[in-house]
């Protein structure tokens, strides 16, 4: 299992991931569902186990040694995220249960600030998690939801976006990378244009952060959200970055312990950032492991990861394009290692089931992006999404399995 990037030792990297050595249905596992969740290296697993074995305790509340050790480790992870995303302050990083939680936190917070005369923009490429919360916000406030249309190659119509922006636009929400098509959106251009009309921008970075180095200050983005489990970290933890002045402006999303300064039955005052938005006992082990996952990715280097994954994308795209009747959706050159496709009239679910019998994990269906499927007039796709621990050999086996499945289904 080799690669043309000679400085990238994929075999050594694969040895860090215990699950890659297992078999499924009697075949070696080929895991091509990385856009749904990434696999976890032993270093991240060890961080979780180490917490529970050695200093399991609640944080920010105890004077005893275990609580102080847990607090230090959790806050160190926050600082790791601050450094990784180049946030101005550690307090600008809010720990959440994931991207969806972070988006809903912002959507809830803007409720007092919108009226029926305001407009919100979302893109046609969004995951349902970056559509539904804004629809709910519009229902609460009367604001109008406008959609930035997409084009046949899976990119956003930036000319239409420019025309949609006006002095009524208050918020713009767009993903950094499409989970279905892999399209990398021009978020720098989107942010700059939105700011020119006074709108704030939230970028859903769930699909970008394991492939692209993100600098929130260079982007001048108002809010950026991500999930650990897409970045080789555990499920159930993520983060919201927000500009300090905006986070201070928004009211708390949830009430409870930790997010308060003083509580009486007459009045409650809230804690300073970031604790204002972190009610209750957090996923402590998950937060610590999130930091370990970011450290792991940085040890390899996101630039090297991006280069290697692009080589896999080009190799797979070339091989798949030779299969009769196969159509790829999302053909822009500026994309991450995601390929969504169909073969003739075969239902994607049937292909996915047969591939699973051969040990190959792909995702089939609408991928929580029904508007994209409606745009193309299809029920769903087969989605193969690659990570830096995948190989060309696996792609060869995948293509051979597709040929076999196609023969069985036609």
Cite the active site residues: 368
What are the helix (H) ranges across 321-391?
348-357, 370-376
Q: Which two tokens stand for residue 87?
A: 């946030």
Residue that the structure tokens 């275990």 belong to: 66
Cα(188)–Cα(44) distance, rounded to whole angstroms? 32
Exposed e or buried b per residue across 284-322, where buried means at least 16 C-beta atoms within 10 angstroms of its C-beta: bbbbbbbbbbbebbeebebeebbbbbbbbbebbbebbee
Task: Report yes or no: 221 and 267 within 8 Å, Cβ to Cβ.
Answer: no
What are the CA-CA distances from residue 25 to residues 334, 347, 356, 395 (Å)?
Answer: 36, 22, 8, 18
Q: How many CB atoms lie within 10 A of CB 24?
A: 15
DSSP 265: S
Question: Is the separation of the CB atoms in 213 and 176 below 8 Å?
Answer: no
DSSP 184: B
Sign of the torsion formed by the C-alpha atoms of 158, 131, 109 and 95? negative
Torsion, CA 405, CA 408, CA 409, CA 410, rounded to 10: 120
Sole residue written with tokens 């009367």: 142
**Separation between Cα atoms, residue 24 and residue 29, nearest integer Å:** 6
Q: What are phi and psi of 404, to 5 degrees?
A: -65, -45
CA distance 297 to 292: 9
């Amino acid at each position: 299992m080799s690669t043309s990037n000679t400085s990238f030792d994929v075999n050594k990297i694969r040895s860090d991931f215990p699950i890659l050595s297992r078999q499924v249905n009697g075949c070696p596992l080929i895991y091509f569902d990385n856009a749904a969740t990434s696999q976890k290296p032993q270093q991240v697993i060890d961080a979780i186990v180490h917490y529970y074995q050695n200093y399991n305790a609640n944080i920010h509340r105890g004077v005893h040694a275990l609580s102080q050790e847990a607090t230090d480790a959790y806050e160190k992870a926050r600082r790791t995220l601050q450094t990784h995303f180049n946030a101005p302050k550690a307090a600008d990083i809010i720990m959440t249960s994931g991207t969806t939680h972070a988006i809903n936190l912002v959507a809830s917070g803007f409720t007092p600030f919108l009226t029926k005369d305001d407009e919100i923009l979302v893109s046609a490429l969004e995951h349902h998690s970056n559509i539904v919360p804004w629809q709910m916000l519009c229902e609460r406030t009367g604001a109008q939801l406008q959609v930035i249309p997409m084009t046949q190659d899976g990119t956003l119509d930036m000319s239409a976006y420019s025309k949609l922006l006006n002095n009524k636009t208050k918020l713009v929400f767009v993903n950094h990378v499409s989970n279905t098509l892999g399209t990398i959106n021009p978020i720098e251009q989107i942010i700059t244009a939105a700011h020119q009309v006074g709108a704030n921008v939230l970028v859903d970075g769930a699909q970008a952060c394991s492939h692209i180095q993100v600098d929130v200050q260079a982007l001048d983005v108002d809010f950026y959200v991500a999930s650990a489990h897409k970045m080789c970290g555990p499920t159930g933890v993520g983060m919201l970055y927000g500009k300090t002045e905006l986070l201070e402006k928004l009211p708390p999303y949830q009430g409870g312990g930790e997010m308060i300064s003083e509580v009486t039955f007459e009045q409650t005052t809230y804690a300073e950032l970031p604790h204002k938005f972190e009610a209750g006992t957090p996923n402590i082990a998950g937060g610590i492991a999130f930091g370990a996952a970011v450290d792991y990715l940085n040890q390899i280097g996101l630039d090297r990861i991006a280069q290697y994954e692009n080589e896999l994308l080009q190799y797979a795209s070339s091989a798949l394009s030779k299969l009769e009747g196969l159509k790829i959706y999302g053909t822009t050159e500026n994309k991450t290692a995601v390929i969504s496709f169909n073969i003739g009239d075969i239902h994607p679910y049937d292909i996915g089931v047969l591939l699973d019998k051969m040990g190959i994990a792909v995702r089939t269906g609408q991928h929580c992006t029904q508007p994209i499927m409606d745009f193309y007039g299809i029920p769903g796709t087969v989605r193969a999404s690659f990570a830096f621990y995948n190989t060309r050999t696996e792609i060869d086996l995948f293509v051979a399995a597709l040929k076999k499945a196609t023969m069985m289904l036609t």
